[in-house]
Amino acid sequence: MTDHCSALAGGLLLLASATSAFSAEAVTPICQRPAAGTVISEAPALYSRHGQLSVSLNYVSSTDKDGRALYCFVTSDGKESPTLHVKPGDTLDIDLHNTLPAGAAAMPGMAMTRSQADCTSSPMTSTSMNMHFHGTNTPPVCHSDEVLHTVVNGGESYHYHLRFPTDEPPGLYWYHPHIHGIAEAAVLGGASGAIIVDGIESVQPAVGGLPARVLIIRDQTVAGNPSPGGKVPAWDISLNYVPNAWPKPIPGVIVAPPGRREFWRVLNASADTIADVALKYDRVDQTLEIAALDGVATGSHDGNRHHGELVPVKHIRIPPAGRAEFIVTTPPANTAQAAFETRKVDTGPVGDNDTTRTLAYIQTGRGQTASGQTASEATPTALPVMPMPFAAAPMGGERFAGLLSAPVTAHRRLHFSEVLSDPNNPLSPTNFYITVAGQKRELFDPNNPPAITTTQGAVEEWTIENHAQENHEFHIHQIHFLLTARDGVPVPEGERQFLDMVDVPYWSGTGPYPSVTVLMDFRGPVVGDFVYHCHILGHEDNGMMAIIRVLPKSGNGGGA
């Protein structure tokens, strides 16, 4: 179960009042949150120009009416959690300002002290933060996508300069803080936003010309901290910050004309909640045509197809941090009720209570919402239509070409596990582990040596088992992997998909451990130290993370 004791981190972060350290005269922005039942609106969109996107972001905290800490990124002109649009080969420059006050030193056991490195000279505190650019194949170096040593404390500023590869798959990515020990509290508070690498219509031409919506699922602590169970969820959820809160859930409203094909780009930016999304018209499941998962077009399983293929399904399981992009057809005008929902997920005997929730109702045409708001459609931006003949590939060619036929240089077996910190006290906090077979089980510490060392150019097969009685969600930074098998059985060709998130179901307590097998592609330019972990952030914060080191081709070692 996600350790609700880890919400202690949120308690510390309540120290983060909205007082800015940068200008005592300025009015500090707060994290705005819409009312329940209102129309779902999208975050402001910022686009690169001439190969570059530059943005100034303030990291802000405020407190809601229930006393919960909220966190968000706000531009200098007041845009909250903007969607950042770039193209393959572009650069993204972010001037980041942590407006939280200087915090107290992190509590022992809540978070580890960072080793000093050239990314920062400051040990972390209760108001530290940084940014992770989830799913992007950008390097793990200072001022780029580096989370082991980059610490931006309250009152400090930091500059990020990311260069996206020319062969970055066009699709949906995202950004969020990644300070070990307090990442869950920041993401539960809403500190997240979407990144879109434009150009998916060049790989998946079926989406060209369709109106596109960016829909972000987030979770949050339930007000009053009731014990989960039955209809009481482990976490409340929201869609584009419109809340669906226990005990009186009132879904938001998506307004659209009837019978229109649209391209929905859905990010599960939850800290802990697994989503299983479906579209129901008068209680009948509708077909969702998947165009991309985790930023990579479906049907491009070996990187050698010029165009992806749509995958029709009735529902889509999206792990925390996962992304699904799919085509929907809005309901006919005579539909009595149209609902976009997340279904109940069985996360295991000790897992979270992920209940069925309606994320939004779909309303065709104008009218009144449940909150009394006048509903009118804000027409989504349509994607370009690719001319015939279609472009053969994104700007830099096919990133994953030839992976299935490449020689495998190493086979590894890893497993998730968890134990009580005090076996004699059933109420003691849970320790969470991800361990390479044959190694000693260790809680994560950024000063730990790498658990895995490999060499640039390697192609490795990893089998990841779950030895715990709740689901875990595997993620690795900097690269994608190819899903090839579940429980030792090869997945059908249509399910071979490049991902950066994969769900590993819980162990029943008897029989074989559930597992996934993936091909890790280290043939790209990424070298250095980065991490892999469970992306249920309550698990990651409590130890379920480890370091991998990729040596350059000219280096010694590899396969260790």
Per-residue pLDDT of 117-158, as tens digits, reads: 667 667 888 999 999 999 999 999 999 999 999 999 999 999
| pLDDT over 50 at 559, yes or no | no
- pLDDT attached to residue 18: 32
Evaluate if residue 27 carries a pLDDT over 60.
no
Looking at per-residue pLDDT, the higher value among 468 and 384 belongs to: 468
Tell me: the pLDDT tens digits for 336-372? 999 999 999 999 999 999 999 999 999 997 655 555 5
* β-bridge pairing 481-486 and 311-313: unpaired
Which bin fits 99, alpha (ψ -120 to 50), beta or left (φ > 0)? alpha
- Written as one letter, the residue type at 373 is Q
- The CATH H-level (homologous superfamily) assignment of domain 4-197 is Cupredoxins -  blue copper proteins (2.60.40.420)
Q: What mean pLDDT do residues 61-73 have?
A: 95
| pLDDT value, residue 456 | 96
DSSP annotation of 83 reads E
Q: Is the pLDDT of residue 377 over 50?
A: yes
Q: What percent of the chain clears pLDDT 70, i.e. is strictly above it?
A: 85
CB atoms within 10 A of CB 327: 19
Dmax over Cα atoms in the chain, in whole Å? Answer: 68
- CA angle (273 as vertex; 56, 518 as ends), nearest 5: 90
| Mean per-residue pLDDT, 455-478 | 98
Contact call for residues 418 and 430 (beta carbons, < 8 A): yes
Write b or e for each residue in 100-115: b if 16 or more Cβ atoms lie within 10 A of its Cβ, otherwise e. bbebeebeeebbbebe
Q: What is the pLDDT of residue 295?
A: 96
Q: Is-contact 416 434, C-beta < 8 A?
A: yes
Model's pTM, two decimal places? Answer: 0.92
Q: Which of 177-186, 394-403, 540-549 is the least confident region?
A: 394-403
Query: Which residues partner with 267 through β-bridges?
Result: 216, 323
State phi, psi for 364 to the nearest 5 degrees.
Answer: -90, 115
Asked which of 20-24, 109-113, 241-245, 483-487 is least confident by mean pLDDT, the reply is: 20-24
Q: State the CB neighbour count (10 A cutoff) for residue 374.
A: 9
More confident call, 116 vs 536: 536
Domain ranges of the chain: 4-197, 205-375, 410-551
Q: Say what the pLDDT of residue 380 is.
A: 76
How confident is the model at residue 24, as a pLDDT? 34
Distance (Å, whole) CA 449 – CA 549? 9
Q: Helices (H) and strands (E) in the chain — how many of each?
A: 3, 39
The predicted pLDDT at position 11 comes to 39
Residue 205 pLDDT: 92
The residue with greater pLDDT, 447 or 216, is: 216
pLDDT of residue 402: 85
How does pLDDT run across 395-445, given as a tens digit for each residue? Answer: 455 678 888 889 999 999 999 999 998 988 988 899 999 999 999 999 999
CATH 2.60.40.420 for domain 205-375, yes or no, is yes
Q: Which of 109, 175, 79, 30 is nearest to 443 (CA)?
A: 109
Q: What is the CATH number of domain 410-551?
A: 2.60.40.420
Contact 297, 171 (CB under 8 A): yes
pLDDT in tens, 269-309: 999 999 999 999 999 999 999 999 999 999 876 655 556 89
Q: pLDDT value at position 30?
A: 87
Higher pLDDT, 388 or 21: 388
**Whether 249 contacts 198, CB under 8 Å:** no
- For residue 310, pLDDT over 60 is answered with yes
Whether cis (ω within 30° of 0) applies to the bond prior to 247 is: yes
How far apart, in whole angstroms, are the C-alpha atoms of residue 104 and residue 126? 5
**Contact present, 403 and 302 (Cβ < 8 Å):** yes
User: Cis peptide before 389, with omega less than 30 degrees from 0?
Assistant: yes
DSSP characters over 140-203: -STTSS--SS--B-TT-EEEEEEE--TTPPPEEEEEE---TTTHHHHHHTT--EEEEES-GGGT
In which residue are the tokens 């045409």 written? 365
**Number of other CB atoms surrounding residue 465 within 10 Å:** 22
Domains 4-197 and 410-551 belong to one CATH topology? yes
Question: Per-residue confidence at 6, pLDDT binned at 50, 70, 90?
Answer: very low
Is the predicted pLDDT of residue 391 greater than 50, yes or no? no
- pLDDT score, position 56: 98
pLDDT confidence of 374, banded at 50, 70, 90?
Answer: low
Q: Spell out a b/e string for 28-39, using b for 16 or more CB atoms within 10 Å of the CB, else e.
A: bbbbebbebbbb
The mean predicted confidence, pLDDT, of the chain is: 88
Mean pLDDT of 27-45: 89
Q: What angle do CA 83, 170, 383 make, to 5 degrees?
A: 70
Q: Is pLDDT larger for residue 27 or for residue 452?
A: 452
E-strand spans in 228-365? 236-239, 242-244, 252-256, 261-268, 275-281, 284-285, 288-293, 296-297, 311-313, 315-318, 323-329, 338-342, 345-346, 353-354, 357-364
User: Among residues 184, 170, 193, 110, which one has the least CA distance to residue 445?
Assistant: 110
Banded model confidence at residue 382, pLDDT cuts 50, 70, 90: confident
pLDDT at 80 over 50: yes
Cα–Cα distances in angstroms (integers) from residue 296 to residues 171, 230, 491, in the given order: 6, 37, 18
User: What is the structure's pLDDT at 102?
Assistant: 84
Identify the pLDDT of residue 376.
Answer: 62
pLDDT at 560: 42
Phi–psi pair at 7, nearest 5 degrees:
-65, -10
